[in-house]
Amino acid sequence: MAKITIVGAGNVGATAAHVLATQTPHEIVLVDIVEGLPQGKALDLAQALAAEGRDARIAGANSYGPTKGSDLIVITAGIARKPGMTREDLVRTNAGIVRDVAREAAARSPHAVMMVVSNPLDVMCHVAHAASGFPRERVVGMAGALDSARLAAAIAHEAKVPVKDVHALVLGSHGDLMVALPGRCTVRGEPLARALPRERIDAAVAKAREGGAEIVGLLGTSAYYAPAACIARMARAILDGTGEIVPCAALLSGEYGISGAFIGVPVRLGEGGILEIVEIGLSSDEKAALAKAAASVRELADVALGRA
Residues with active-site annotation = 174
Looking at the DSSP assignment, which residues form a beta bridge with residue 129?
Answer: none
Q: Residue 300's closest CA among 88, 76, 75, 79?
A: 88
Q: Which residues contact 44 (CB under 8 A, 6 or more apart)?
A: none
* H and E: helices and strands count for the chain: 10, 14
DSSP for 144-181, written as a single string: HHHHHHHHHHHHHHHHTS-GGGEE--EEE-SSTTEEE-
Burial 83-118 (b: 16+ CB within 10 A, else e): eeeeeeebbebbbebbbebbebbbebbeebbbbbbb
Q: How many CB atoms lie within 10 A of CB 57?
A: 16
- Enter the DSSP assignment of 65: G
Question: What distance in Å separates the CA atoms of residue 186 and residue 198, rounded to the nearest whole number?
Answer: 14
Query: How many residues are there in the chain?
Result: 308
